[in-house]
Structure 1
Amino acid sequence: MPRPTGNAALKAARTAAGYRSQDALAVAMTRAAPTLGIRGLSVGVRQVRRWESATPPWPQPDHQKVLTHLLGQGMEQLGFTPPWGATAARETSSRRVPTGAPAPGALPPIPAQAPATTHPASVGRHCEEVARAHRSLYWTVAPSALHAPVLAHARLGCTLLSETAGITRQKVASAVAESYLLAGRIEFFDLREPERAAETLTCALQAAGEANDSLMGAAVLAHTAFIPGWAGRREEAAERMVAARTYARRGPASAELLAWLDAVEAECETRCGHTRTALHLIGHAEGLLGAGNEHATPEWLDWFGADRLAAFKGNVQLQAGHHLQARESLLVALEMLPPESDKQRTVVYGDLATVEAALGHPDEACEAACRALDQLAVTWYATGMDRVKEARRALAPWKNEACVRALDDRLYDWGTTVSALAR
């Protein structure tokens, strides 16, 4: 049951170490991080407050390192419970992760023999089936509705890890990794909770390690790069991408996976203002997709293909000021997107609206933005709404035009406004 008084162990350790307030500990952690070789770490009082709550989240690896350094105790002694439950942590020194990547934390030991409570081999298959179903539902079900069951399935899998062995345990771990990855995607792209997404993706990496799935590890690490990349922290994002590429080399990475890694890095570079580098990466990704290779694309990699690469390319060209080329790329993406890619379609329409505004075509821009809003009314996607708002800002010179006022009526009608505030 939740501790009604919060995480008393952490509070006691903090006080004993001389940090009388949560803010004092946050400041001390931020200052201590560089001395431990951790760059770009900034801890706020809100984060410390969450750790001292009745249900503290499992800290990220860099946070763990600083906490244990300052307070002189292990994570479980500080009142934290690993994502896998209160089990003895396995030594993870042999699982080295490249600098800048979230390192695995406390993991449940793989039983040397069958655990006391075992489940049949079908359990692994059933866990994979549920993860597969959630993966398909993501494209059409409201993210706020899907998030809870996806996270619940991941936590159920964590329990089953200590009650399974052999290939069954590996299948359960694979399902857990995919579920945590999907939950992290929802938290970052749909719910706009990057801090929470970072914690969830760390759990996904731990599970991928249990499954010994380096390609899933590469996918998780690349998703972690979005977090600093979107915040403009280029060096940190680049380090995460080095880690992702390192993991990809350990497995039979398909051309699609390798091209997606290029696309992720390109988006991070674009967000950090380095569009020339981003365009080079997009060109390399196109070459990879065109050449292909003998390796099959993982089933879970359902968020990328030639259509998505065209959308990535159009966005980079837009940010680089290559508006005519961006329009061409975005129109190609719209033609290629399959019917079930409604979320991505909102993003493409939003970018197309911004392109048309930049070209001085307010009517066409408003038409594209309204098409994005039509889709957002059916399937909400925070990233898509962000692109529509970017387009509206680009339309500021025509704010008194009838088409822009009609767009505002759509953008700020009762349903859209309440939905945006609620989410």
Structure 2
Amino acid sequence: MCFFDADFLEGVRKMAKTYNRLEIDVNKKPTDIITAVQADNNSRYLDVSLFNNGVPLDLTGHEVKIFMVKPENGGEIWNDGVITDATAGRCEFLMTTEALARMGHLQTQISIWKDNTEILSTQVFEINVTKTLLGNSSVESSNEYGTLVVLFQNLYEAYALMTDMVSSFGKKGAVADARDIATFWQGVEYLAKYMDTDLKGLLEKAIANSSVQGVLDLIGTSGDSGDTTVFGKENAILENMKNTIPLYRPDDYLVQAVAGKSILLQNEEKSATYGNDTLVGTVNLPNDCTKIVIRGNFKGNSMQVYLNNAADNKTYWRASYFNNGEETYTAQELVLEQDTPLPSALKVYLYRGSKGTVYCNNLTIEACTLKRVVTKELYETGTIKSYGTVGSLGDTPYLPQCPRLDRVDYLTNQNSSSSVGITVEVDNIPFVRKIGAYKGYRIRY
């Protein structure tokens, strides 16, 4: 027997939640001390306000995610947050059981996403997980990827939407309304019934008239409309079937999605001088990784970052030289994207091209793989989504959203090349990553 009403129990449940208030400027290192207790079960939350140089970040139409690296190689956590006040840049994150499974410093970073692409992230900060006096030997530390669960749920919902579209098969028109035809297959059944009944009756009536002209009058001509001739009824049925063909469909494309993130420098500085290259660290990449994004703070001139294949230590890629001045650190982003997968492991080096010293700190590398996105929204079939022209071979950038090959029209071809560009197959469907050189094109829904 329970002596407490529902309102009282709901109040107790809310009292059991603890919120850590945190204000973070994306351009500054967070200095607030955040403390949580090991093994607290889904009762602690981070209440975060995000700013950009003191101005609240407007999170309208965006998503927020949290990435954590647990101490002592305890695994990784990648979960979604909840936006509580979009215009004020306020959001909250649940400190899950997995997040608090290990005692020590939890390396944490919050990122902001739009249309499945990360657009901004905070500096890395720490959450101090203190030891609990209540033993719980049943809790084991492991990876937690709540965001991936949400993505799989979205795919399931997209599948359900397509199933519903197949069952409806388009929108009916005025002719279908008049005949109470709601679906494509009802139109086919209407035609079959007409062939078995109305058409048979008209032919029998024509034969009964015993005149060739009577038969021809009842059959009619190809331009007839209405219900008095065979051609008239068939034209009405064909018009209705045309109206039930799907006029709308979802967008379908590939994007480079973050599949892994490595932190090579955290609150640590490394430097290099002319003739003395410095190994910053080694990064392991997932299978089919065709793009990496290097982010860090750099100081110095005549600076370069280069990558060696860890298998043979031969130079694999060099970034262009850049100058950030000798006085203060400047945030820098370097991108390497190519047609084929990158090596499974790369060594990252810092290089100075002339006399002097260059410096680097807070260096992270995001590894990306191609992911298929089928939107929930429906767009009118054949509507132009984007268009453009590509010049020389050196002017062929990778498309941020890679469309299906069957939705790309090539309008011009300024040379004899028949190449459509760089394509890749996902789910046995070809998608275009790069438009071919010297071509005009348009992309349709």
| Fold in common (TM above 0.5) | no
CA radius of gyration, larger in: 2
Which has the larger share of helix?
A: 1
Query: TM-score by structure 2 length?
Result: 0.26
Alignment TM-score, normalising by the size of structure 1: 0.27
